[in-house]
Amino acid sequence: VRIRGFAAAKDLERVDLVLITESGIVKRAASHRWAVRPADALAELLYRDLLATGGFDGVFKGSAAVAEQATILGFVREFGGRHLNGEWRAMLDIDLTIMDSHGNIMLQKTYRLNRALGGTGYDMLAAQLRILTQEWSAAARGDIRAALSPDGE
């Protein structure tokens, strides 16, 4: 299986932490940044987790040319904080697509996860986003395994 670098919504193409107000205004926390683009970090997390769990003949990144491989593509729509119904929530919204070597879609799924911050501050947001990414990775790995296994398990 090969993981291509994930694409992202325009607001997530940078490393600034993104917050969306109740009225839908996008704000960037320029003084609080990720080490890399969230889309890159999420693709890397899935790659590492698939390697660690095993069960595949090989897990590759980027444009590695291997015959008869499935390719995993991702699109990160939201990764940050959103003010909803009077409270701040950590939000994760990712589309995942698996295509076989002929370009046929084997899996197409949207993962929308969120958690109440339970407090204020960027540290609390980062902690809740970490939990969401772990939950997403576990769910995605299960779906990938089911889509790629011969018996669908």
Q: What is the pLDDT along the chain (153 residues), one digit of tens a residue?
A: 889 889 888 877 776 767 666 777 667 676 666 667 888 899 999 999 999 988 887 888 876 666 668 899 999 999 888 888 888 899 999 999 999 988 899 999 999 999 998 877 788 888 899 999 999 999 999 999 999 886 655
Instruction: Please name the helix (run of DSSP H) or strand (run of DSSP E) that holds residue 116, with its range, or none.
Output: strand 105-116
- For the whole model, what pTM was predicted? 0.85
Q: Cα–Cα distance between 74 and 23 in angstroms, integer?
A: 27
Q: Cα–Cα distance between 99 and 79 in angstroms, integer?
A: 24
Contacts of 23 (CB under 8 A, 6+ apart): none
Strand partners, 109: 96
**Closest CA relative to residue 43, chosen from 152, 122, 133, 146:** 133
Reading the block at residue 84, the tokens are 């909803």
